[in-house]
Amino acid sequence: MSRCEALCGEFFINGDTACAEGAVSAGCRFFAGYPITPATEVAERMSERLPQVGGVFIQMEDEMASMNAVLGASWAGVKAMTATSGPGFSLMMENIGLGVMLETPCVVANVQRAGPSTGLPTLVAQGDMMQARWGSHGHYEIIALVPDSPQEMFDLTILAFNLSEQYRVPVLLMADEAVGHMSEKVVIPEINSKQLTRRPRPKVAPEKYLPYDSRKGLVPPMAVAGEGYRFHVTGLTHDDRGYPEMTAEAQDKLIRRLVDKIRLNVKDITKYEEVNIDDAEVVVVCYGITARIARYAVQKAREEGIKAGLLRLITVWPFADYRIEELASTAKAFIVPEINYGQIVREVERCVAGQARVRLVPHMGGAVPLPETIIDAIREEAR
């Protein structure tokens, strides 16, 4: 039985389940993970679905091993992913950095919960946003998408796989507990191969193949282990052959390429949604479940005659600097509601660069903010 014969259509499912279905539709055929609230349902669904489509599910002994297994499966030519939450995300960071260095396509779903440490395992937060960008050591770029609904958990999981394959980089799906556990209608269409991206493959004979040959672009072709290509991959600074090269010159060349393949394509990668932005004097910048609350707040403010607008970040990393900078030239204030004590607000402040006021509306975690807190902030900044 094919996936689409079983599941194409409309379903009432939660975000975690939708994430798993998005992965299967994207062609994911390997999942390695360790149960952790509130992401366990992703693993549970994958344990059911992957055997049905010829894939492999493995429950690993911990999150470090899970991330390693995902990298290995990807180098074996399989689309691979894992899912976790805050504590597990911390444990995966070293090997996410290894994935960046090895240029390994894969997807990591982080369904965020309140921390630090064990925190509130079953309750919502958005406290891992800066960790997503800077959690591993060294300088690199990452791609992180933030869904605001179960439907987007499905859609953005497919996009995450496409971006990871296109740019040969781990892609993060930064959901939150509320979106992960929320049940809504999700439309699962039939996905054809033209809608899916596959990593660039070598077009030269095996003996001429260089695993990190960037002479024809910033993203080198990727061979599959076991197909006759000889290659070496290492977390050390390496040359085009993949062999360690311990020089400042090699480090400069490699890091510039790892960064530039994302940085030079920011406008192609970043996605955002705008509501009533054209004449907005007060712009609410938000993401995830907070955006659904902020949308209502902006609507109510408009009904009161306040020129409020919404900028919902769908791609948080790389950050849409250019769009914030454009809006800062006309808006007089930015409001950033987050379920943390201030993370993405710092990026907004950096991009606004003093041209307008920037105000954080924080919520420590455990529950979503009330719309009244955002509406009050809009009213005060509109004066």
Write the CATH number for 69: 3.40.50.970
DSSP 8-state symbol, 368? P
CA nearest neighbour of 33 among 119, 145, 109, 144: 109
**Quick count: other Cβ atoms within 10 Å of Cβ 246?**
9
Same-domain pairing of 189 and 281: no
Q: Which residues of the chain have pLDDT under 50?
A: 1-5
Burial of 94 (0-12, 13-18, 19+ CB in 10 A): middle
Q: How far apart are CA 306 and CA 147, in angstroms?
A: 27
Give, rounded to a whole angstrom, the gap between the first and last alpha carbons of the chain.
61
DSSP 8-state symbol, 332? S
* 330-378 pLDDT per residue, tens: 999 999 999 999 999 999 999 999 999 999 999 999 999 999 999 999 9
Residue 360 lies in a domain: yes
Per the structure, the complete domain to which residue 283 belongs is given by 272-382
Same-domain pairing of 13 and 152: yes
Residue 133 lies in a domain: yes
Same-domain pairing of 329 and 190: no
> Domain count of the chain?
2
Report whether 231 contacts 103 (CB < 8 A): no
Report whether 157 contacts 173 (CB < 8 A): yes
Residue 115 lies in a domain: yes
Choose one of 133, 165, 195: the last residue of a domain.
195
Same-domain pairing of 279 and 170: no
Residue 276 lies in a domain: yes
Report whether 322 contacts 311 (CB < 8 A): no
Residue 214 has what pLDDT? Answer: 82
Hey, what are 67's tokens? Answer: 């991330």
Chain center to CA of 283: 23
Report whether 135 contacts 93 (CB < 8 A): yes
Report the alpha-carbon angle 242-245-247, nearest 5.
145
Same-domain pairing of 12 and 130: yes
CA nearest neighbour of 28 among 62, 66, 54, 64: 54
For residue 9, the SS3 value is strand
DSSP labels for 191-256? PPGGGS-------S-GGG--TT--TT-SS-----TTSS------SS-B-TTS-B--SHHHHHHHHH
Residue 6 has what pLDDT? Answer: 55
Q: How far apart are CA 310 and CA 98, in angstroms?
A: 36
Q: How far apart are CA 246 and CA 242, in angstroms?
A: 12
Report the alpha-carbon angle 336-180-169, nearest 5.
80
Same-domain pairing of 19 and 168: yes
Same-domain pairing of 24 and 163: yes
In angstroms, the Cα distances linking 373 to 19, 149, 356 are 31, 22, 20
Q: How far apart are CA 171 and CA 161, in angstroms?
A: 7
Residue 220 lies in a domain: no
Choose one of 143, 163, 195: the last residue of a domain.
195
Same-domain pairing of 17 and 104: yes
Report whether 126 contacts 287 (CB < 8 A): yes
Q: Please, which residues have CB within 8 angstroms of residue 250's CB and are 6 or more apart in sequence?
A: 237, 238, 239
Could you tell me the pTM of the whole model? 0.96
Residue 216 has what pLDDT? Answer: 82
Hey, what are 122's tokens? Answer: 């079953």
Choose one of 133, 168, 195: the last residue of a domain.
195
Residue 303 lies in a domain: yes
Residue 5 has what pLDDT? Answer: 47
Residue 65 lies in a domain: yes
Same-domain pairing of 63 and 187: yes
Chain center to CA of 175: 8
- Domain of 277, CATH number, reads 3.40.50.920
Chain center to CA of 219: 19
Residue 1 has what pLDDT? Answer: 40
Same-domain pairing of 330 and 184: no
Same-domain pairing of 155 and 66: yes
Residue 42 lies in a domain: yes
